[in-house]
Structure 1
Amino acid sequence: MKNIDHPLSNWIPYKLIETDKEAYFEWIYLADVNFAEPFFTDTIAKCNGHKFNSKLNKAVSTVENLIEWSHELESVELRSLVFHVSRCGSTMLSQCLAASAENIMISEAPIIDQVLRSDYFGLDKKTALIKAVLNFLGQKRFPQQKHLIVKLDAWHIFNAGYFRSIFPEVPFGLLYRNPTEVLKSHQKMMGMHMVPNLIPPSVFGISSQEIEETSFRQYGALVLEKYFQGFLDFYETNQNAAILNYNDGMKNALEKFISFIDIEYSHDELEKMLERLKQHSKDKNTVFTGDLFKEETLQIDFSKLNILHEKLNNTLLEHLEH
């Protein structure tokens, strides 16, 4: 059965619901909406008004339903997972990739994080669910679609080894940036992972002792230290990954990523992706003129961060030499 004729065509699971007695998935109908927005949740918001999604009774399924049904639809090939340290150009990278009609670009889908962090499932079940969710997100809904690329949440670098065990041949992208610029961006509008305890510190490998010794202002730097170290630790044993530096220019990062994942795009598709660089990553209607940061110095100890950043830079140079 072709996707277009399947009753689940254009339906995706998008939320894991857990109660004391059971876990189930809530579904949403995409209609003809593509994953073109900066974040997965933006796409979901566009779909909420559809008549199938605005009913009082929501479409739900069991865990086993999701796994079983995921084998019934044709899905495009998973071509890369993108890891990042936040505020490092990952949204621009994903928006450029989303500009190509050949790509299904999933950007920080909460359902992936919900499955990963759930205490409801064992590892084997989580693996089956991750694969099932990606099959649905990567279902071939339009004729041009050929590639699935998934940008994960920043803290998923700590799950990179697990993802590698599931997808041993899939190239990974590792995108980072000068730590001062990352934290200056969070100074303007702080991400939830940079606020103590909004996400359990254990997710980042932060100990209770480190929490006690770290001020609110320094916490974001500590999280970023963990991200940088996570990049270094993963790359040391997993060479099928491209290290991408925002500070080398987003055009360079995009071209290097495309080359690394070894996709032959047409000239027109490449032009669409490069053209997207001219607009703001989160607003296509705004011309991007560069980042503007507050001039005052951050009251943060950068000593460890700078060492880790330099190690990443050196690792990148070694990567380029090979």
Structure 2
Amino acid sequence: MTPITEPSTLAGWLPYQLYNGTDARWIYPGTLPYTDPFFDETISKCKSLPENGFGKRYSSAVDVLPGWSAPDNALPPAAIIFHVSRCGSTLLSQLLGLNPNHIVLAEVPFFDDLLRARYKQGGKDLSHLLPHAVSYYAQKRTGTEERLFIKADSWHLFFYEEIRAHYPDVPFILLYRRPDEVVASQEKKKGMHAVPGVIESEIFNLGQLPAYQEGTHAYVAAILEQYYQRMQQIHAKDPLAYLVNYNEGFGAITEKVYQLTHTPFTEKEQQDIMQRCGFDAKEPEKKFALPATGIDETAGYLAKAFKGYHQLEKLRM
């Protein structure tokens, strides 16, 4: 790993990983499009480029980001998508990415590194560096880009204040889904927050999470309860936070995001979106099929989560 102190050396590169709590590792994206369902997949592809080969790996102090960022060539966010996981946020980001004039950043690991840094052992708050990191990813690469959309990780609901402070005028989309459907999806393939210890428990700050040994269903339901509560709190105080339910349908949801961001919505885009909705979000080559949940919605462990869900529905309606 070669330490870099001059920004010109890393023109066109991205800070992609925080390590030791003080340094950023950099990667060259070349012309790879940012169209993968998750940005860590894009990073994996970047690692195969010759510019990122052995002996060409660079690092810098993370606190150089403000001085090295590129605001003149970076788009501001048009909207930021918050979500409860397994609620169609990946599909929504894919639909927004159908427009070649959009940059869509879906769960960028480096953004998460900065937000969670203070929860690491001996870590410090690096959330003030977030907009500077975003500016690298938001740079125009073809010259035709017009709008930037960011999809946060689900637990970034608990970093709402920090993110809103950086982006006071940006619409926040609060996307959610029925808890039994989310729990069923997490059982099929667990996300990071659904496994204790992967995401620091201190982040889930609205209540005590149950012991994982009590059942993964109960653990995920408790996290969902907190997500729903957090969305209620955000919606109550933020006129630019918009509740959106999975069951509205993603043609309508995408159109709503276009309206909120004053983005022209052409007939061709409508057709492209409806065609894309027929395929799986995370595996775009597969036809979409909505499986039965196999979850008893009357189960006691879901009661509080369903209460939060129905409260969100009253607010949305």
- Give the CA deviation at 1:99: 1.2
Which residue of structure 1 aligns with residue 141 of structure 2?
141
Rate the CA distance shift 1:282–1:149 in 2: closer, same or farther, 3 A: same
Distance, in Å, in 2 between the alignment partners of 1:295 and 1:287 is 21
Rate the CA distance shift 1:206–1:89 in 2: closer, same or farther, 3 A: same
Query: Residue type matched to 1:102 in 2?
Result: N
TM-align CA RMSD: 2.2
- Give the CA deviation at 1:64: 3.3
1:84 aligns with 2:83: yes
Which ranges in structure 2 are unaligned for 5 or more consecutive residues? 1-7
Equivalent pairs counted in the alignment come to 305
Distance, in Å, in 2 between the alignment partners of 1:248 and 1:270 is 16
- Give the CA deviation at 1:296: 5.6
Q: Is the 8 A contact 1:161 1:234 kept in 2?
A: no
Q: Is the 8 A contact 1:242 1:260 kept in 2?
A: no
Any idea what the Cα deviations from partners look like across 1:189-220, whole Å, max 9, x if unmatched? Answer: 1212112232222111165x544598233111
Q: Is the 8 A contact 2:87 2:176 kept in 1?
A: yes
Any idea what the Cα deviations from partners look like across 1:91-118, whole Å, max 9, x if unmatched? Answer: 0000001111111100011111110111
Which residue of structure 2 aligns with residue 61 of structure 1?
60
Any idea what the Cα deviations from partners look like across 1:209-248, whole Å, max 9, x if unmatched? Answer: 5445982331111000000001001110001022111012
Q: Between 294-303 and 135-144, report the one with greater CA deviation.
A: 294-303
Under a length normalisation based on structure 1, what TM-score does the superposition of the two structures give?
Answer: 0.88
Alignment of 1:30-45 (within 5 A): 30-45=29-44
- Give the CA deviation at 1:273: 3.5
Q: Between 273-282 and 85-94, report the one with greater CA deviation.
A: 273-282
Q: Is the 8 A contact 2:228 2:312 kept in 1?
A: yes
Which residue of structure 1 aligns with residue 106 of structure 2?
107
Under a length normalisation based on structure 2, what TM-score does the superposition of the two structures give?
Answer: 0.89
Which residue of structure 2 aligns with residue 11 of structure 1?
13
Q: Between 191-200 and 295-304, report the one with greater CA deviation.
A: 295-304
- Give the CA deviation at 1:143: 2.1
Q: Is the 8 A contact 2:85 2:182 kept in 1?
A: yes
1:281 aligns with 2:281: yes
Which ranges in structure 1 are unaligned for 5 or more consecutive residues? 1-5, 318-322
1:285 counterpart SS class: coil
Q: Is the 8 A contact 1:279 1:287 kept in 2?
A: yes
Any idea what the Cα deviations from partners look like across 1:224-280, whole Å, max 9, x if unmatched? Answer: 000000100111000102211101212121111221122224444444344322221
1:126 aligns with 2:127: yes
Distance, in Å, in 2 between the alignment partners of 1:82 and 1:249 is 16
Which residue of structure 1 aligns with residue 316 of structure 2?
316
Q: Between 51-60 and 263-272, report the one with greater CA deviation.
A: 263-272
The percent identity for this pair of structures is 30
Q: Is the 8 A contact 1:28 1:53 kept in 2?
A: yes
- Give the CA deviation at 1:294: 5.0
Q: Is the 8 A contact 2:171 2:261 kept in 1?
A: yes
- Give the CA deviation at 1:57: 4.4
Query: Residue type matched to 1:239 in 2?
Result: P
Distance, in Å, in 1 between the alignment partners of 2:254 and 2:247 is 12
Distance, in Å, in 2 between the alignment partners of 1:188 and 1:133 is 33
Distance, in Å, in 1 between the alignment partners of 2:123 and 2:72 is 24
Rate the CA distance shift 1:300–1:33 in 2: closer, same or farther, 3 A: farther
Query: Residue type matched to 1:244 in 2?
Result: V
Distance, in Å, in 1 between the alignment partners of 2:123 and 2:168 is 22
Q: Is the 8 A contact 1:242 1:257 kept in 2?
A: no
Q: Is the 8 A contact 2:234 2:241 kept in 1?
A: no
